[in-house]
Structure 1
Amino acid sequence: MFVPPKSPADELWDGPRTGVDGVKEIFAADEAFDNGRFPMFLKDALLSKHVFMDSPVLKPSILSESTAMKMVDFGKSSKWLDYIKSKTQRAVKPLSVLVQELRIIKSENEIDLMKKSGNISAKAFIEAMKWTSPEYTEAQLWAKLDYECRMRGSSILAYVPVVASGPNGLSMHYVRNDMQMRDGDLVLVDCGGEYQSYASDITRTWPVNGKFTEPQKKLYQAVLNVNKACIKLCTEKANISLHGIHSVSTRLMKEELAKIGFKTSTWELERILYPHHVGHYLGLDVHDCHDLDRSRKLKQNMVVTIEPGIYVPFDDRFPREYQGTAIRIEDNCVVGAEEPYVLTATAPKEIVDIEYCCANN
């Protein structure tokens, strides 16, 4: 590791540094050096037979192309990749994919941290449900979730949350979070804290006034049934991938909607009512291991999200009583050999539990 050296003058203004010796002691680095030596190391490294790195040209990197150009004498080469190709005997190979392969199966220690992360966020959701009222705004609910996560040990929220009341939930990535919440509407909240660098990612949908209407109950139960059925598939024994679970979720969703009066085609379901994937990998990033395809079979100690949703636009192709309603229910699951472990199980999602929680503010 290359790190800034200890410097009393700089630390007076910016706070303490780990320093070269501290990196070995705290982070167990085999070797550590003053970062002033990095340019020479980089130049020598590029002469190696095997170079594994992520190109700063192709994706964002701490080491940008302009920075690299300044650090290394590129001679007549005007481009970073041209220089590397001219100096290395083999093509540059990507590094991040190798690291992601190491990250996708979690250790027991990682799972323990993710249990803590999920539990913190689940408790924050309970407090947020109890507190929600038509007198508050989405921004205030956001602040409540942030406060409750931090007070229980999260360092930050893992991502900018979605706090979408009423028709705002029809936008998948609504993050304005600035509208007044209205009596009779649902609020869809996609939020999670980060604990010891591990993210949680929960979505719950609940009534602003604490009571579901009958149409809201029917649509909510349809999504919940799909959520619970898909969670059961998060096992190595099921021999299925996230893509496979998504296919199951679309079939089940169509069946559930048919029971409550929807006469919708598969195209309308997948393009309008349920346009996103059922889940993704979770870990140090919210969308963890993003270069690894979701077609691989789930293995024990992978951690994934399961998040079916329904978003009914103001369109008379769909039953009027459900129009303008958005519902998503998302849990974080450790893939087990024969049974999944739900990290977010303590966040209420049954209708009776949500209404009980909302009534006890």
Structure 2
Amino acid sequence: MFIPPKNPSAELWDGPRTGVEGVKELFAADEAFDSGRFPMFIKDALLAKHVFMDSPVLEPSILANNTVKKMVDIAKTQRSIKPLSAIVQELRIIKSDNEIEIMKQSGQISAKAFIEAMKWTSPEFTESQLWAKLDYECRMRGSSMLAYVPVVASGPNGLSMHYVRNDMKMNDGDLVLVDCGGEYNGYASDITRTWPINGKFTEPQRELYQAVLNVNKACIKLCTEKANLSLHAIHSVSTRLMKEELAKIGFKVNTWELERILYPHHVGHYLGLDVHDCHDLDRSRKLKRNMVVTIEPGIYVPFDDRFPKKYQGIAIRIEDNCVIGAEEPYVLTATAPKEVVDVEFCCANTN
């Protein structure tokens, strides 16, 4: 490891630095050096037969006069420098048992934060305040931070899937769609729940919510090695099931309308050290034991007369984090309420 050295003057203003010896102890590094020595190290390393590198290091003290960049550019003309990312992602895609234990804790922390947020939600608050509540509850339970900027979308704001302004007042009678998760020991959780701001679903909200929930639960059951499916295959199942569920409550939609308007995103992605983990790995690969994925079907009904009027303006997504098991999935986020009766009970109880 190459790190900035101890510097009493800098530490007076910015706080203590770990230092070379401290890094060895803290991170169990085999070797540690002053970052100023990195240019000489990289010069020798680039002479190796096999060189793997994704991008130049961005540490300012290392990039002085573009020394490293110049050396790398010269090396590229003399030998093949291969990317490291693909190799690392193959190692990351299957989680160790220890990683799974950390992700269990990450999921439980975030699930408890959602419970507290549901209990606390009221038409008197804003989306921003609900965001602050989730952040507070995650941190108080051990998260170092939120894993990403959350979506806290009340009412029609939920029709925008990456709505992150989170600055509107929440209105009585609307739903709030919250996509949020804490980070614990470097590992992300990624939960989405949708609940009534006043604590009680209207009939149209409940009907549409149950349709999405049925798809969520059916797709989670497919998260096993025995099923021999990929995320792409599960997504195909989710679109078929969603069309069937919507037909039961009066929607008459074709495949284009479903996949381009009502349910335009994928059912899930890999999860781990990043929220969208191993992003270069194709979702067409078969799921294997100890992979971790999200399952997040959603429905977003615009103000469009092609769709039943009573559902227009309603947005619902339900997302869980699942460990692929041999024959059964393990849902890391199972304690976050999602059954209608549980959500309403949670919203109605402040204790």
Q: What does 1:239-254 align with in structure 2 at a 5 Å threshold? A: 239-254=228-243
For residues 10-67 of structure 1, give each alpha carbon's deviation from its aligned partner in whole angstroms, at most 9, with x where no partner exists.
22222222222222222122221111100111122222221100135xxxx6369x93
Which residue matches 1:276?
Answer: 265
For residues 221-256 of structure 1, give each alpha carbon's deviation from its aligned partner in whole angstroms, at most 9, with x where no partner exists.
000000000001111111111111101100110010
The answer to whether the 8 A contact 2:194-2:318 is kept is yes
Report the Cα distance in structure 1 between the residues aligned to 2:39 and 2:154, rounded to whole angstroms.
51
Which residue matches 1:47?
Answer: 47
Q: Which one-letter code corresponds to 1:179 in the other structure?
A: M
Which residue matches 2:63?
Answer: 67
Which residue matches 1:127?
Answer: 116
Structure 2 segments unaligned to the other structure (5+ residues): none
Share of identical aligned residues, percent? 83
Report the Cα distance in structure 2 between the residues aligned to 1:118 and 1:346, rounded to whole angstroms.
9
Q: What does 1:1-361 align with in structure 2 at a 5 Å threshold? A: 1-56=1-56, 62=58, 67=63, 70-72=66-68, 74=70, 81=73, 83-88=74-79, 91-361=80-350
C-alpha displacement of 1:74: 3.8
Structure 1 segments unaligned to the other structure (5+ residues): none
C-alpha displacement of 1:121: 0.6
C-alpha displacement of 1:69: 5.7
Give TM-score, length-normalised by structure 2. 0.96
Report the Cα distance in structure 2 between the residues aligned to 1:69 and 1:12, rounded to whole angstroms.
28
Q: Which one-letter code corresponds to 1:87 in the other structure?
A: Q
Quick one: structure 1 residues 294 and 68, their matched pair in 2 at CA, closer, same or farther if it must change by over 3 Å?
farther
C-alpha displacement of 1:206: 0.3
Quick one: structure 1 residues 347 and 285, their matched pair in 2 at CA, closer, same or farther if it must change by over 3 Å?
same
C-alpha displacement of 1:68: 7.5
The answer to whether the 8 A contact 2:189-2:275 is kept is yes
For residues 160-206 of structure 1, give each alpha carbon's deviation from its aligned partner in whole angstroms, at most 9, with x where no partner exists.
00000000000010000000111111000000111111111000000
Quick one: structure 1 residues 73 and 159, their matched pair in 2 at CA, closer, same or farther if it must change by over 3 Å?
closer
The answer to whether the 8 A contact 1:137-1:180 is kept is yes
| Alignment root-mean-square deviation, CA | 1.6
The answer to whether the 8 A contact 2:63-2:69 is kept is no
State the secondary structure of the residue aligned to 1:237.
Answer: coil
Report the Cα distance in structure 1 between the residues aligned to 2:134 and 2:16, rounded to whole angstroms.
31
Report the Cα distance in structure 2 between the residues aligned to 1:174 and 1:70, rounded to whole angstroms.
39
For residues 275-332 of structure 1, give each alpha carbon's deviation from its aligned partner in whole angstroms, at most 9, with x where no partner exists.
0000011111111111111111111111110000000000000001100000000000
Q: Which one-letter code corresponds to 2:179 in the other structure?
A: D
The answer to whether the 8 A contact 1:280-1:288 is kept is yes
